[in-house]
Amino acid sequence: MPTPHEELRAAGIELAADPDRPALPECARLARRMRERRVRTVGLAPAGDDVAVPAIAIELGRALAATSATTVGVVDAQGSWPCARALVEADDEGGSLAASWLLDNLAVLTPRAPHPGAALDRLRDVVEEQAATFDDLVVDLTGFDHLGEHLAAFQLLDAVAVVARCGRTTTRQIEHWLRDLPGGRGLGVLLTGV
Return the CATH number of 4-15+27-192, one of 3.40.1160.10, 3.30.479.30, 3.40.50.300, 3.40.50.10860: 3.40.50.300
| Contact present, 148 and 180 (Cβ < 8 Å) | no
Q: Which residues pair with 97 in a beta bridge?
A: 111
| 131-182: pLDDT as tens digits | 888 999 999 999 888 888 898 999 999 999 999 998 889 899 999 888 888 7
Of 25-29, 41-45, 55-59, least confident by mean pLDDT is 25-29
pLDDT of res. 105: 93
Domain boundaries, the chain: 4-15+27-192
| 95-139: pLDDT as tens digits | 788 899 998 999 999 988 766 668 888 899 889 988 888 999 999
| Contact present, 88 and 110 (Cβ < 8 Å) | yes
pLDDT of res. 112: 85
Residue closest to 85 by CA, chosen among 76, 72, 95: 76
pLDDT of res. 148: 83
Q: Which DSSP category does 143 fall into?
A: T
Q: What is the chain's mean pLDDT, rounded?
A: 87
| 63-94: pLDDT as tens digits | 999 887 789 999 999 888 999 888 988 887 77
Q: Residue 3 pLDDT > 90, yes or no?
A: no
